Structure formats: structure tokens, C-alpha cells
Amino acid sequence: MPYDLKELAAISGQSGLFRLVRPARHGVLVETLDAQAKRSLAPASNKVSLLSEIGIYVQDSDETVSLTDVFERIHQKHGTQVAVTSKSPESELTDFLAGVLPEYDRERVYLSDIRKLVTWYGIVSQHRPYEAPAEPAAPDEATAVAPAAEAAAAAPADTSPPKTAKASKAAKAPTKAAAPSTDEPAAEAAPKPKRSRSKKAE
């Protein structure tokens, strides 16, 4: 993202741009986007327009090009300094916008919109850092990774079951006492005592 516009806003009835600090009870606490960075309360009655939500109409479409993308095109073509100002002639302003956004809608984008665009870009480019877009990976790195991935895909899969670690002696569950075997002979019954026969009297 070239310029971060998420916290920047324009407030109706006030010139310049502002950075949103935090919501307040009766409005929004803002800070001027300049060297002084003065804080004040923007009343709830004032319209606050976030720059990140503003776009420019293009021809033959109801869609818009975001202000972030337009600022990026301006930076790529002109850098941080542009040759026009909000007081430049109409022809120079329209040529300026056509140079960075040829498809902009000439009927729905007014001259006042272009003046605001130029003014806002001048403020943002002076007081916000430009972040260059991330560059794609070099082709050499991409080609170096591809053969390794293909070799890994061609290698035969190991279908052997995973080896499990043997449980330690401490982790072994205690063995259960063996049940008595049914093959052993049953205990012999105790012999019954013999009754003594008394001799008949002769």
C-alpha cells in the first residue's frame, strides 16, 4: 500500500485533512495533518469523509477507482511533487487527471473534485510516508523450489506401518494372576471315618 489513508479524513466546513484520533461523546477527536498537528473536536453535525472510502468514477461503469490507487498512479508518474495546484487552469487540471487516470468519467467527475484531489495529494505526500508495494519473488527462487517439490512427489511413498516405541518397564501394566487351570485334578474328598462294629456279647 503506497499511502495509508485509513485514518485520514476530510471534514465539511474545514480546510485541509485530519487524522482521526478517537471517538468522543459529542463528535470525533481529530488531529490536523500538518507540521503543527493540532487536536480539536469535530462535532457530530459535521460530515467526516474517510479518504479510504472515496473513489473516482470511470467511464461506462458504476464502479470507482479508489483514492489509494489514484495516489499510487500519481506517485509513479510524478513522485511527491506535482506540477499543478488547486489554482491551476481547468485545462491543466483535467490533463493532469487524464494523464494518471485516462478512463475517468468527464461528466461525473467535476473540476472541484480534481482540485480536491490535487490538494489532498499534496498534503498526504508531505506528511505521510510512502510504502513501496512488496515485490514478487525472483524467478530463480521459484524455479529452484519447483524441482525439489517434483522430486518429493515422485519419491515412492513409505507404506510400512509406523514403528511404535516399546513401553518401558515402569509403564507396563501389572500382569493379572492366572486363573486356576481346569486340567488339574479336583481335590480328593476326605475319607469318611469307618464305623466300629461292636461285638455281640457271647
The answer for residues whose C-beta is within 8 angstroms of residue 37's C-beta and 6 or more apart is 31
DSSP reduced 3-state for 174? coil
Per-residue model confidence (pLDDT) at position 147? 52
Tell me the C-alpha distance between 18 and 37, whole Å.
Answer: 9
Per-residue model confidence (pLDDT) at position 96? 97
Per-residue model confidence (pLDDT) at position 92? 97
Supply 169's cell numbers.
518397564
Tell me the C-alpha distance between 152 and 108, whole Å.
Answer: 57
Per-residue model confidence (pLDDT) at position 132? 72
Decide: residue 100, CB within 10 A, 0-12 exposed, 13-18 middle, 19+ buried: buried
The answer for residues whose C-beta is within 8 angstroms of residue 55's C-beta and 6 or more apart is 63, 64, 65, 66, 67
What are 145-190's pLDDT values in tens digits? 555 555 555 555 555 555 544 444 444 444 444 444 444 444 444 4
DSSP summary character for residue 14: S
Do 57 and 109 form a contact (C-beta atoms < 8 A)?
A: yes
8-51 and 54-127: same fold? no
Per-residue model confidence (pLDDT) at position 1? 53
- So where are the chain's domains? 8-51, 54-127
To the nearest 10°, report the CA torsion of 33, 112, 108, 60: -60
Supply 163's cell numbers.
514403528
Per-residue model confidence (pLDDT) at position 172? 46
Residues of the chain with pLDDT under 50: 143-144, 164-191, 193-194, 196-202
Per-residue model confidence (pLDDT) at position 164? 47
Supply 86's cell numbers.
488547486
54-127 has which CATH code? 1.10.10.1650
Q: 0.75 exceeded by the pTM?
A: no
8-51 has which CATH code? 2.30.30
